Structure 1
Amino acid sequence: MLAASLLLLYWLIFGEKKKRQLYSPPGPWPLPLIGNLLDMAGADPHIRLTEMARKFGTVFQVGFGQEPVVVISDIDLAKEALVKSGDDFAGRAPLPTTDLLSNSGMGIAFADYGRGWRVHKKLTHNALKMFGQGMLQLEDKISQEADWLCGYLRDSSGRPLDPYLPLNTVVGNVISSICFGKRFEPEDAELKTIIGYNEGLVDTVGKDGLIDVFPWLAKLPNATIRKMKACLKTRDSVLNNNIEQHRVSYKAGAPQDLVDALLKAQAEAAAEGGRKAQRYLSDEHILTTVNDVFGGGMETSTTTLRWILAFLLHHPEVQAQIQEELQTVLCANDPVRLCDRERLPYLEATIREVLRMRPVAPLAIPHKTIRDTSVGDFDLPQGTRVMFNLWAIHHDERHWTDPATFNPARFLDPKTGQLVRGGSFLPFLAGCRGCLGESMAKAELFLFTARILRDFRLEMPHGVSPPSLQGRYGVVMAPDRYSICFKPRKA
């Protein structure tokens, strides 16, 4: 009897462990309490996790404190999880920093999968289509801002200019027209406030990762949390002012922008009674969704444009080839249109190469499984936190030759010179959690870049080295600030 009991105990302990090892992703051995934090030291998280993927495989498990996190670093497995099993991986894990950003999980970006998230995603998707993502209307908005941008750059007369403010202005105006139905001038006090709090959030969210590993640290005196809360207080004040102005101006049944569309849904839910308005369409929900669209759309496109200019300063031969292509395809005074993308494959390939080399969010926003599921050969129980390492996917040597080298031609067919689709490339993610503003972002990147390079030659100020391509890790990976001389080109 004792022998049988010992045999049963051995099977329960070691048999189950063997089963978990067989079906759970491999990974470094975690230490008590701190997990694999020591393995993460010495480099940015996306770099360390890429190194781990080479050792443990493209699906592995790492301990962030006591929380096991599965990291996916393969394009096919990422698409399996995001598209084929998209609903399974559609959850969001609550974290102290993202809870602060999202009023405890409201809105779209950081909300957990459920009815509230679906309500706001549908409202936002319809608003983007209605108020800006219809391609002709969106193209006109971007082209008008591109006209202003080129005029602003021309007024600099080739003197050194930091592109941060004008790029924020034009990208902000495109998304502001959709969210608020208005535009800003670069000296507008409200725009400066918006740029200020956005920059503060980029500098704080993700900077102190220990807060999300050990949530109790957020309750202690912390400079990062204090700065983040100050930025969020300013953000909420600006957005609330715009929302309250819309309450006054909104005409029932005739929404003019995203805020109107959300207020319309709120009013309809309240009229229907029940708890929908309170649970999913409260004032806090509306503010958070507006911030997700406005703040997210502004920061990501501006950052990518700054990366494009930085890479072109390092590679004047690429800039010259794009300008030769523009000169061949377009007449001197022709407007640049979205329909020109197929006729300007090298320009489009350059934009894609920048997105490949410097994904704005190298680790994206962590996902969470909402039910027991699997990816590849591994089982993932409900509630597993999952990260998609876009940096590793975009630098995968199995798919890209010399992936650390900037080479737009890798996106072109060597025989036809036309764009090649596919590849280990996922800058906007995919599936139900993919970027809602993908079409708008692609249009902005193409039209703004084309107009700048058609009208100007980019040069570094005399005696100044090109900007660093290292980037600052955070909620987005942004380049350091730098200046450019925008030299007008002859028509």
Structure 2
Amino acid sequence: MVTVSKTWVITKYLVELIIKMVVSLPILIALVVGASLYYVFISRRKNKGKLDGKIPSGPWGLPLFGNMLQLDKTSPFLQYDKWAQKYGDIFSVTIFGTPTYVVSDPKMVKEMFSQEPAFAGRFNVGDDVPFNEFYPTSGKVHGVINTEGKDWEDIRRFTLRQLRDFGFGKSTMEGLIMEELKEVLDWMKSNEGKPLTDIKAKMTIAVVNSLWMVISGNRYKHDDPRILALSHDLTKAMEEAASDGAIVFLFPWLEKLGYKGFTSFRNYVDKMRVVFTRAVEEHKETYSADYARDFIDVFLKEVKSCKDSDSAFYKDFGERQLITVVKDLFEAGTETSSTTLSWIFLYMATFPEVQKKMQKEIDDMVGTSRLCGLSDRPSLPYVEAFIAEALRFSSIVPAGVAHRALFDVVYKGYAFPKGTAIFPNLYGIHFNPKIFTDPQSFKPERFLSPDGKTFKKHEALMPFSIGRRQCAGETLARDTLFLYTANIFQRFFVKFDPTDSNANPGLKTSASFLLTPQPYKIVLKDRLA
């Protein structure tokens, strides 16, 4: 049985409408031919202007739709990888009506995003105001993820400096992570031998609390219903939208035709705005210019002292920036790390020989009388290699976060007209057999020296992107993954629930913007009991 996609249903409807409107077959033929010629000779080159470079080759698409109908609705990154194999390390498509270049060469990705200012823009689907904007009616873009230009540079620089001052990469941050981790270990001990089905939900609040203490000076209980509900709402909205190819974010009116996701996502955004607005308002009520308690305080101080009406920190605009930056940090700190940890538990249960090898290293180098710390990293190369392989194998953001060309530029002979979207094909890079031997096999050893005693970084592994727009929370994420992985599996052995034949779903992903594992069921056994 063949299921016809909703996009094709809409296409069929439009074609039938045109046929009804056009009374002459020759006229209909002329329209079809004209649209095709426009796409072939104009649309694919419409913004090239006087640029001397060439447009990368790529697959031809359809008039109006471009290459959208050629993408798998739930796993478009797989098609990108197939096109890369056919057209090379850089190819062009048209997605959401926008000329789009997909880059599959890790060195080129690094050079473009690190050295060329033209590629520091942020591509927003369908409009200048992104679909996840907190204040869509303001006509402006807020936060550190979606902005670009001077506002982005100023906000990112300020945010990174303040986060470092409050402990990012320092022992104080390690202490905050360990406090949350100890509560997780106690919870795991209390649930030893019981089937566990939603590890990600438990990890979500624990992971974000370390960051939330720096941002707001507060922490959430691990079973806080508000935060768990927000995480559930986000996951549901993303899965709904992804199941229909995310086209609803471009055309919200498609919900009337049965597409899902846009209303759910906007409801989630509205709830998030209420939560973080309340946090900022509470800080304003107790604010003192003489003492900065946390990130919100120092941002408020910057807003209150700003006299430049063109600044991103000016008055009401500055406060909206603060609320959105808090949201950006919160989402980045919860979804990516907790999703990666959910993959790590699945990999451990799937590959018990890997789990035992890692536990032996921990036993030999650290022992079981104390918890592992960041200072143990050099002594635990296999743990580091396992985490690197988990990041590669999961590739939870398979096409990265899209950039766009801020102005016309020719790079390595290719023309990048202003507004061109640029996707790094991270999944294709991470599974390229010319870069990673036998990429479909889970092998932590690929990140070890020949004698197995030293962890080796690989420049093609880019789970946090690269360059000027590299994830601001990468240091915190890496520290969190190391401390959680080393200490959880020092204490516990994990396996699939032996009483449930469906406990192991395999390694296929669920449809979402982040690649998440399908539901699985595990049980824990205390190794130290």
Output the amino acid matched with 2:512: G
2: CA distance, partners of 1:185 / 1:484: 24
2: CA distance, partners of 1:42 / 1:358: 19
Match of 1:239 in 2: 276
1: CA distance, partners of 2:422 / 2:206: 35
Specify which of 344, 364, 373 is matched with residue 400 of structure 2: 364
1:83 aligns with 2:105: no
Output the amino acid matched with 1:341: R
Alignment deviations for residues 253-275 of structure 1 (CA, whole Å, 9 cap, x no partner): 42222221221111111xx3635
Specify which of 449, 453, 467 is matched with residue 413 of structure 1: 449
How far off is 1:89 after superposition?
A: 0.7
Alignment deviations for residues 53-112 of structure 1 (CA, whole Å, 9 cap, x no partner): 000111000111432210001111111111122x2211012325972312343101111x
1: CA distance, partners of 2:253 / 2:224: 39
- Stretch of structure 1 that moved more, 349-358 or 219-228: 219-228
1: CA distance, partners of 2:462 / 2:429: 8
Secondary structure at 2:124's aligned position in 1? Answer: coil
Alignment map for 1:214-293 (pairs within 5 Å): 217=254, 223-269=260-306, 272=307, 274-276=309-311, 277-278=313-314, 281-293=317-329
8 Å Cα contact 1:197-1:234 kept in structure 2? no
How far off is 1:219 after superposition?
A: 9.2
1:62 aligns with 2:93: yes
How far off is 1:218 after superposition?
A: 7.5
- Stretch of structure 1 that moved more, 97-106 or 307-316: 97-106
8 Å Cα contact 2:53-2:415 kept in structure 1? no
Flag the 1:248–1:96 CA change in 2: closer, same or farther, 3 A: farther
8 Å Cα contact 1:24-1:378 kept in structure 2? yes
Alignment map for 1:44-193 (pairs within 5 Å): 44-85=75-116, 87-95=117-125, 99-103=130-134, 104=136, 105-111=141-147, 113-162=148-197, 163-193=199-229
1: CA distance, partners of 2:452 / 2:410: 40
Tell me how many residue pairs correspond in the alignment.
474
Match of 2:528 in 1: 490
Specify which of 369, 393, 400 is matched with residue 333 of structure 1: 369
Flag the 1:217–1:268 CA change in 2: closer, same or farther, 3 A: farther
Match of 1:7 in 2: none
Alignment map for 1:203-222 (pairs within 5 Å): 203-204=239-240, 206-207=242-243, 208-212=245-249, 217=254
Match of 1:472 in 2: 510
Specify which of 59, 63, 74 is matched with residue 28 of structure 1: 59
Alignment deviations for residues 307-348 of structure 1 (CA, whole Å, 9 cap, x no partner): 111111110000000000000001321221112111101111
Flag the 1:247–1:278 CA change in 2: closer, same or farther, 3 A: same
1:319 aligns with 2:355: yes
> Structure 1 length normalisation: TM-score?
0.90
How far off is 1:200 after superposition?
A: 3.6
1: CA distance, partners of 2:316 / 2:240: 28
- Stretch of structure 1 that moved more, 427-436 or 126-135: 126-135
Flag the 1:193–1:265 CA change in 2: closer, same or farther, 3 A: farther
8 Å Cα contact 1:96-1:215 kept in structure 2? no
8 Å Cα contact 1:108-1:289 kept in structure 2? yes
1: CA distance, partners of 2:511 / 2:394: 11
Match of 1:304 in 2: 340
Output the amino acid matched with 1:88: A
How far off is 1:159 after superposition?
A: 0.9
Output the amino acid matched with 2:118: D
Output the amino acid matched with 2:62: L
How far off is 1:418 after superposition?
A: 1.1
Flag the 1:157–1:482 CA change in 2: closer, same or farther, 3 A: same
Flag the 1:481–1:247 CA change in 2: closer, same or farther, 3 A: farther
Specify which of 46, 64, 68 is matched with residue 37 of structure 1: 68
Match of 1:4 in 2: none
2: CA distance, partners of 1:268 / 1:343: 47
1: CA distance, partners of 2:126 / 2:258: 14
2: CA distance, partners of 1:205 / 1:116: 30
2: CA distance, partners of 1:474 / 1:358: 13
Identity %: 29
- Stretch of structure 1 that moved more, 384-393 or 256-265: 256-265
Flag the 1:36–1:21 CA change in 2: closer, same or farther, 3 A: farther
1: CA distance, partners of 2:238 / 2:275: 18
2: CA distance, partners of 1:249 / 1:121: 26
Flag the 1:279–1:222 CA change in 2: closer, same or farther, 3 A: farther
- Stretch of structure 1 that moved more, 36-45 or 22-31: 36-45
2: CA distance, partners of 1:212 / 1:377: 33
How far off is 1:245 after superposition?
A: 1.1
8 Å Cα contact 2:84-2:90 kept in structure 1? yes
Alignment deviations for residues 276-310 of structure 1 (CA, whole Å, 9 cap, x no partner): 34488433222111100011111110000111111
Secondary structure at 1:133's aligned position in 2? Answer: coil
1: CA distance, partners of 2:153 / 2:240: 29
> Structure 2 length normalisation: TM-score?
0.84
2: CA distance, partners of 1:164 / 1:305: 7
Secondary structure at 1:160's aligned position in 2? Answer: coil
- Stretch of structure 1 that moved more, 75-84 or 347-356: 75-84
Match of 1:8 in 2: none
Output the amino acid matched with 2:301: K
How far off is 1:22 after superposition?
A: 7.0
- Stretch of structure 1 that moved more, 480-489 or 21-30: 21-30
Flag the 1:275–1:43 CA change in 2: closer, same or farther, 3 A: closer
2: CA distance, partners of 1:481 / 1:200: 14
1:452 aligns with 2:488: yes
2: CA distance, partners of 1:83 / 1:339: 30
Flag the 1:171–1:72 CA change in 2: closer, same or farther, 3 A: same
Flag the 1:285–1:66 CA change in 2: closer, same or farther, 3 A: same
Gaps of 5+ in 2: 1-40
Flag the 1:121–1:192 CA change in 2: closer, same or farther, 3 A: same
Gaps of 5+ in 1: 1-12
